[in-house]
Structure formats: C-alpha cells, structure tokens
Structure 1
C-alpha cells in the first residue's frame, strides 16, 4: 500500500454526495480511485465532482487491483452481500449503518474481516461528534444529579413515493434506517446491557414496511429509555436525560452540519443554563478514524464491539415489537 488510502465508492447515494465524499475529499490521505453505480450516468456525475473513474456495476469496482478500500452507502439490506464480497476481494470496508439486518450476519462479517486482516467499520457517524462526550462530562459533574431516565427521537417527514425506504427488499423501512439512532445513543449513555421492555411498530400494509414506532428499554437497575422513530412525522432528532435534580436536553444530535454549535440546555428547579459547544465535523472524524485504522493500525475493536451490541439489541427489539397497521 502506498502512502495514501485508495478508496472506491460502491453506490451513488445521497449521503455519499452530501456528506461522506466531501469529507473524503477533505482528507489528504484519501484518494478516490473509482465510483461505481448501477447507472453509468450517475457514476459519471459523482466522478466529475469527486474524481476517480466512473464504473457501471459494483463487480467492476472490486476487480480493481489498485484499490485498497471500499465505501458502501448502498441500501441497508444490500450491505451484507457487498461487504462480504469486498472482504473476499481483500478490501478494507467502511459501510453505512446498519452493517446488516441481523446479529448473526454482522458477527460473521466482523469475524471474516479479522481473519483476513482487513478493517471493517460501520458508519454510525453521530458517535464521532464531540458533543456527546461533552454531555457525558456534564453528567459526570453532577449537573442533573443521579440519572433517572433517558429519551430520544429521530423522525422525518414522509418521503416521496418510490423512495427506497418504502421498498422492503432493499430499504427495510424506518426501523432499520432511523430506529437504530435512538437505540445506539441510548447504549452510549446507559451502557450496552439494556433490556427490551416492549415496542410498538406502525406497519404500512401498502408498502409492507415499518413506518414508525416506539421502544422502551431499561438498564439492569431500572433506568428507562423511551425511544421514538419514524418517517411520517415532523423532523426531529434529539435526546434528553432526566436526573434526580434536573434535566439535560440537546437538539440536532444525529445530523448536525459541521458549522453547527450545539447548545446543551440544563434545567433545574430554580436554574436554567445553556452551554454552547464547539463545532465539529462528524463525517471527517469517521473518515479519519477509518484511515488511521487502515494506514496506522488504530484499534477499532471498541467500535466493532459496539456494532455487535447494536445488532443484537436491534434484533431483540424487532422480535419483541407489537405490529399495528398504519
């Protein structure tokens, strides 16, 4: 491998165009070698902006010898197949969340990556923003006393008819796409040993996908996490932590632009405080982590262990959920 990480991109998704590829372009250690799409026209549009060779078809990307790693922003239910094929081709892989739709597949792919000596990292990008560690420090200072409860939501307005999220064969609906965010951030603050108390999903019979839902988790010592997700709402992404002496709230927790200065709001009986945090670029931080893991040997086992815990909990929630027609 040369001094730069030679990346290929598998799929011309909106998230790649708006956020991930600009972050790659801003990292001097990354060279975009090729971008593949089902459509030659889409691949050409991406390479005109970000460089590299346009390719029609994902197989053509994996056949390139001059490629070190692959970024996969394909629809969620296509991840498992193409991650596995990329690993078999000896490529390092950065894949959008969720890595797969099951614990078994996720575990198998992570083990395959380790056995081949290549990096496999799931991109839950919000985890790489410094605002969450800042909130942890505020909690550790005792700003709201002992933790009594957690709540988080990620909801968006309806998507246009024909959107991939309405296609059960590849998109998987709102739970796999949006529901994972509140679940993952609950584990971030409450630990990985959360129990599933219950869940309710609204299921669209026309599209045959989950449109929205609510989830109740709890820690072993009884701290509850109330979570909501969906794609039939107004836009919202936030979390709040209730304590014995106050409450802490933070907005735009999953999708802040790099220019955004997060505002931590702390409420107590006779006190209101707002702490303005620094800007951060979570996508650039993800790319930096991946580059350091591939080129510098950075240990990403903590991130991979988090991916496994997430896959296990998502699976348990899905099994426990009561489904009702939307």
Structure 2
C-alpha cells in the first residue's frame, strides 16, 4: 500500500454519494507498500479501505482481483470483500483513477515474524490455493519468468549505481533461470505477494489476508517460494531454518506438495528472489516525485538470491521427507 494520488474532500464526497455508507468521518492515507494509493476511510457505516489503482495496474484486471476476493470469502477464507455501489457494481472512479472500497479487516501485521506466524501463514496459503478452485476468471502472471528480462532492461544501465557489478550478476542469473525453470507444476490461483504486511493476526491467531492485487494463475509451489523469501530470512540476511520448517509444515498440513514441486522448490525460490529484486530495483530507481511511499531496498533480495543458489535440496529449507 502507498499514496501516489491525492484526493480532495469534494472528490471524496462525490465518490461516496454512489454508496449507502453515510458521510465520511475520517480519511487518512496509508504509506506502506508500493503499488496503489490506499486510504483508511471511516464512514457512518464503519471502516473501509479505499484503493485508487495506479497506472501500473491494468484496469482490465480489476474484475479478476475484486471477483477473487468475493470468491475466496464465500469459500470461508477471511479477506476483504468489495463494497457494492448503489448500482450493484464494485468499481468506480476517483481523482482520475479506477477506485474501489473494500471491507476493513481486524488484526495487525507483524514486523518480526516468529515460527508460529510462519506456521499459520503456511496453512492459510495452502487454504487459499484450495479455495481458489472453481474461480471462473483467469489472469496470467504479469511478473513471471518471461517478463523478468524486459523488466531488467529498464534498470540495467543504472543497476551498478545500486551495487557494483549488479547488472552482470542479474544477467547471469536470468540465463540460468531461463534454462532451468520448471514446467507443468500444479497450478491455480495464487496470491503472489503474501508478505508479512499482507497477513493479519489477532494475538497468535491469523485473522485474515489482504492485498490481492498481484493475484494470478501460476504454480502453487512458486507462491510458496515467495513466502519462503518473505517470511524466513532475518534482517541481516540469514535464512532461519526454524521459520522455514514451520512455514512448510503449515502448508503441508493442508495441501501436500508432490515430488515435482519438492524438487523444484530451490529454483522456484531463486526465481521468487529475482522477481522481487527486479521490481524493487525498478522502484528504487523510479520513485515518483511527491509520492508518499518509501521504496524497499532491492539488495535484501540479492542476498536471498545468493543464498538460494547454494541450495541443492528442498530439505535444506526444512521440508520434511
């Protein structure tokens, strides 16, 4: 989440006139995240999250994102649900951007995940993969392997200003990933961005998942690899095997990985690290002027990528045989 687009009081009042939520009582920008503009909105009817979809979001994808939240909620997964307008639709326009309201989810994200957080997250991720079955809309992963090299080319010339030799290191790794990327793994709807700030807890209990705006169809094990990167490394860059074991145990308590997924986990984890290295590198080099957003350091994911390059077996992440 972030704030790129400012919303005036007059524009907000006009936008809310299409809903039956009563007047706005408070309205505050949310600075976390990198993709869309987000606000916490308190109306007479309660609390909501208002999202303005910025230019990197394809408006044609919005029915997928909003419909997926409705589908998953109907299956029992706790997640935000789009709020319908008076005309029955879920999507409007505000400040020149497509915009939608979703329900507010109770809970807080953790800044210091422990093994219990990882266990709960693994279970929830697997449940999401199962609950996504039957969703009728389809969306290709717009940040999958074929898109990484073109994305890299947008940052190649400036990459070495972030770290000496970074451009050549990324180029070599892309060669390796393109040669060895696994095919035909079990796939379906994935979250694709299940970082700690997108998982809420009340006490030790997971209370819900948010931010489905990277969701797409891709391999389930790749989604798990994204979580290994996001949840199981310490601030200094070391992999925490206890957290890795807990995440994988939680996942397999709901959905078992098959042999091909297990064998592919190391290369998928390298790919997941590359995906976030490249998007963070681009964002680091291209912060819009005046945006209320703090770009995340891409070098955190270079450290993770280098770790995964030495992994031979998924058992080294803590996956039980």
More helix by share: 2
TM-score, with length taken from structure 1? 0.29
TM-score between the two structures when normalised by the length of structure 2 = 0.29
- Structure with the largest fraction of strand: 1
